[in-house]
Structure 1
Amino acid sequence: MKIKKASIRQSMIIASLIFGMLFGAGNLIFPVHLGQLAGSNWLIASSGFLVSGVLLPLMALLAISITRSNGIYDLALPNGRYYALIFLILVHATLGPLFATPRTATVPYEIGIAPYLSKSANTWGLLIYSAIFFSLVYIFSNYEGKITTLIGKVLNPLFLLLLFLIFLLAFIHPLGSGNTAAITASYARHAFSNGFLQGYNTMDGLAALAFGITIITAIKELGIKKTRQVSIETAKSGFLGIAGVAIIYLALIWLGATSLHQFKLAANGGITLAQISHHYLGTAGDAILATLATITCMTSAMGLVIAFSQDFHRRFPKISYRTFLRINCGLSFLFANLGLDQIIAWSTPILMFLYPLAITLIILGLLSPIFKHDRLVYQITTALTLIPAFFDMLNALPANLHDSQLLQTLLGFAQQYFPFFSLGFGWLTFGIAGLILGLICHVLKVRKRLGLLSE
Structure 2
Amino acid sequence: MEKKLSFSSSLVIGVMLFALFFGAGNLIFPAELGQLSGTHTWKAMLGFLFTGVGLPFLGILAIGFSGKKDLQDLASRIHPIYAVLFTSILYLTIGPFFAAPRTGAVAFDIGVAPFLGGFSIDLARLLFTLAFFGISMWLSMNPAKIVDRVGKYLSPLIIILLIGLIAMTLIKPMGTIQAPQDPYIESPFFKGFLEGYNTMDALASLVFGIIVIKALHAMGITNKKQILTSTMMTGFVAAGFLAIIYLGIAYLGATSVELFGQLNGGGPVLSQTASHFFGSIGLVLLGVVIMLACLTTAIGLITACGEYFHSIIPAISYKSFVIFFSTFCLVVANFGLENIINYSLPVLVLLYPLAMVLILLTFTGPLFRQAKIVYRIATVTAFLVSFVEALVKFYSLVEKQMPKWLEVINDAYIKYIPYYEQGIGWLVPVLIVAVITGTMVFITNKK
Superposition TM-score tier, normalisation by shorter sequence: over 0.9
Which segment is superposed worse, 391-400 or 130-139?
Answer: 391-400
Aligned partner of 2:261 among 264, 267, 271: 264
Which segment is superposed worse, 246-255 or 319-328?
Answer: 319-328
Q: Within the alignment, does 1:244 sit opposite 2:241 as a pair?
A: yes
- AA paired with 1:13? V
**SS of alignment partner, residue 391 of structure 2:** helix
Query: Deviation at 1:107?
Result: 1.0
Q: Is the 8 A contact 1:78 1:378 kept in 2?
A: yes
Which segment is superposed worse, 109-118 or 168-177?
Answer: 109-118
Match of 2:186 in 1: 189
Matches within 5 A, 1:122-201: 122-142=121-141, 149=148, 152-178=151-177, 181-201=178-198
Between the aligned partners of 1:170 and 1:235, the Cα distance in structure 2 is 32
Match of 2:232 in 1: 235
Between the aligned partners of 1:202 and 1:138, the Cα distance in structure 2 is 22
Q: Is the 8 A contact 1:102 1:335 kept in 2?
A: yes
**SS of alignment partner, residue 185 of structure 1:** coil
Q: Is the 8 A contact 1:35 1:257 kept in 2?
A: yes
Between the aligned partners of 1:133 and 1:33, the Cα distance in structure 2 is 25
Match of 2:62 in 1: 63
Q: 1:195 to 1:147 in 2, by over 3 A?
A: closer
Unaligned runs of 5+ in 1: 451-455
Measured against aligned partners, the alpha-carbon deviations of 1:142-169 in whole angstroms (never above 9, x if no partner) come to 2679898566533432332221221121
Query: Deviation at 1:117?
Result: 4.2
Q: 1:82 to 1:266 in 2, by over 3 A?
A: farther
Q: Is the 8 A contact 1:28 1:252 kept in 2?
A: yes
Between the aligned partners of 1:7 and 1:294, the Cα distance in structure 2 is 31
Query: Deviation at 1:331?
Result: 1.4
Match of 1:23 in 2: 22
- AA paired with 2:27? L
**SS of alignment partner, residue 186 of structure 1:** coil
Q: 1:119 to 1:85 in 2, by over 3 A?
A: farther
Between the aligned partners of 2:329 and 2:390, the Cα distance in structure 1 is 22
Between the aligned partners of 2:332 and 2:118, the Cα distance in structure 1 is 18
Match of 2:47 in 1: 48
Q: Within the alignment, does 1:298 sit opposite 2:295 as a pair?
A: yes
Unaligned runs of 5+ in 2: none
- AA paired with 2:355? A
Q: 1:291 to 1:342 in 2, by over 3 A?
A: same
Q: Is the 8 A contact 1:103 1:343 kept in 2?
A: yes
Between the aligned partners of 2:370 and 2:67, the Cα distance in structure 1 is 11
- AA paired with 2:155? N
Match of 1:317 in 2: 314
Between the aligned partners of 2:174 and 2:334, the Cα distance in structure 1 is 33
Between the aligned partners of 1:398 and 1:131, the Cα distance in structure 2 is 33
Which segment is superposed worse, 324-333 or 408-417?
Answer: 408-417
**SS of alignment partner, residue 260 of structure 1:** helix
- AA paired with 1:225? T
Measured against aligned partners, the alpha-carbon deviations of 1:283-333 in whole angstroms (never above 9, x if no partner) come to 122123213421331121111101101000001112221221122112111
Which segment is superposed worse, 318-327 or 35-44?
Answer: 318-327
Q: Is the 8 A contact 2:162 2:289 kept in 1?
A: no
Q: Is the 8 A contact 1:419 1:429 kept in 2?
A: yes
Measured against aligned partners, the alpha-carbon deviations of 1:318-352 in whole angstroms (never above 9, x if no partner) come to 22212211221121111111111111111111111
Between the aligned partners of 1:148 and 1:384, the Cα distance in structure 2 is 39
Match of 2:324 in 1: 327
Between the aligned partners of 2:294 and 2:224, the Cα distance in structure 1 is 33
Match of 1:399 in 2: 396
Query: Deviation at 1:113?
Result: 2.1
Q: Within the alignment, does 1:79 sit opposite 2:78 as a pair?
A: yes
Q: Is the 8 A contact 1:38 1:183 kept in 2?
A: yes
Which segment is superposed worse, 222-231 or 328-337?
Answer: 222-231
Match of 1:32 in 2: 31
Q: Is the 8 A contact 1:378 1:438 kept in 2?
A: no
**SS of alignment partner, residue 6 of structure 1:** coil
Q: Within the alignment, does 1:384 sit opposite 2:384 as a pair?
A: no
**SS of alignment partner, residue 368 of structure 2:** coil
Q: 1:400 to 1:104 in 2, by over 3 A?
A: closer
**SS of alignment partner, residue 258 of structure 2:** coil
Which segment is superposed worse, 142-151 or 158-167?
Answer: 142-151
Q: Within the alignment, does 1:411 sit opposite 2:410 as a pair?
A: yes
Between the aligned partners of 2:308 and 2:56, the Cα distance in structure 1 is 19
Which segment is superposed worse, 149-158 or 378-387?
Answer: 149-158
**SS of alignment partner, residue 179 of structure 2:** coil
- AA paired with 1:99? F
Match of 1:453 in 2: none
Query: Deviation at 1:396?
Result: 2.4
TM-score norm. by structure 1 comes to: 0.92
**SS of alignment partner, residue 5 of structure 2:** coil
Q: Within the alignment, does 1:362 sit opposite 2:359 as a pair?
A: yes
Q: 1:317 to 1:162 in 2, by over 3 A?
A: same
**What percentage of residue pairs aligned between the two structures are identical?**
35
Match of 1:217 in 2: 214
Q: Is the 8 A contact 2:342 2:397 kept in 1?
A: no
Measured against aligned partners, the alpha-carbon deviations of 1:48-73 in whole angstroms (never above 9, x if no partner) come to 11111111111111111121112211
Q: Is the 8 A contact 2:368 2:439 kept in 1?
A: no
Q: Is the 8 A contact 2:13 2:147 kept in 1?
A: no
Which segment is superposed worse, 264-273 or 419-428?
Answer: 264-273
TM-score norm. by structure 2 comes to: 0.93
Q: Is the 8 A contact 2:154 2:296 kept in 1?
A: no
Between the aligned partners of 1:331 and 1:23, the Cα distance in structure 2 is 22
- AA paired with 1:128? L
Q: Is the 8 A contact 1:268 1:341 kept in 2?
A: no
